[in-house]
Amino acid sequence: MEKDNAIQTIIEEVFSRYTDGSYIKASMLPDLDLYVDQITTFLTRHLSKTTRFEDDKIMTKTMINNYTKNHLLPPPDRKKYSRDHILLMIFIYYFKNLLSFTDIETVLSYITEKHFGTSESSLAEIYTKVFSMEHDQMDRLKEDVKEKFEKAKETFPTAAEGSEDPENA
């Protein structure tokens, strides 16, 4: 039972990092274009709660350069990145934990092609809509993880008793 509580505590900790409402809102983005060092500082300041370990990197200059080289991110204009660039970087930050770079490129290519740098149905509107759905989706995800955890306990009862080595179970 103590092990169950420890696992549930870890699950709750992970979810709390992503559901505390601390994501970057489009209205929080600077109104002027930024250099890469300014962006890494901005993203680190606002997304640091989402890392599991203190030394995890949110976004580095090398990452941004690689995203541009691999067509996940349009090139900057005279080494400056716009609000739309920053929004795409935030999408990439969250997507890279779930999808391959090829999949991210597929997802973002349509959005970038149709909405990057335009005022009609802007990228900021899309970003805001996606993150407005976060709360409902996280509640569903939490329930799903809890159900799977309970099912795993039923399927592997000896693991729930505290066996650390599956070969000795």
For residues 50-70, b (16+ Cβ closer than 10 Å) or e, as one string?
beeeeeeebbeeebbeebbee
pLDDT over threshold 90, residue 133: no
21-30 confidence digits (pLDDT tens): 567 888 899 9
Name the residue with higher pLDDT: 144 or 119: 144
Mean pLDDT of 30-57: 90
Mean pLDDT of 105-133: 84
Mean pLDDT of 19-42: 87
For residues 5-42, b (16+ Cβ closer than 10 Å) or e, as one string?
eeeeeeeeeeeeeebeeebbebeebeeebbebeebbeb
- Identify the pLDDT of residue 41: 96
Mean pLDDT of 34-60: 91
- Identify the pLDDT of residue 6: 76
Q: How confident is the model at residue 158 (pLDDT cuts 50, 70, 90)?
A: confident
Mean of all residue pLDDT scores within the chain:
83
CA distance 120 to 105: 22
**What is the percentage of the chain residues whose pLDDT exceeds 90?**
36
CA distance 54 to 44: 11
Residue 157 belongs to what H/E stretch? helix 157-160
Q: Are 22 and 160 in contact (CB under 8 A)?
A: no
Q: How confident is the model at residue 44 (pLDDT cuts 50, 70, 90)?
A: very high
- Identify the pLDDT of residue 169: 44
CA distance 32 to 34: 6
End-to-end CA distance of the chain: 17
52-102 confidence digits (pLDDT tens): 788 889 999 999 999 999 889 999 999 999 999 999 999 999 899 889 989
pLDDT over threshold 60, residue 161: no
Name the residue with higher pLDDT: 5 or 34: 34
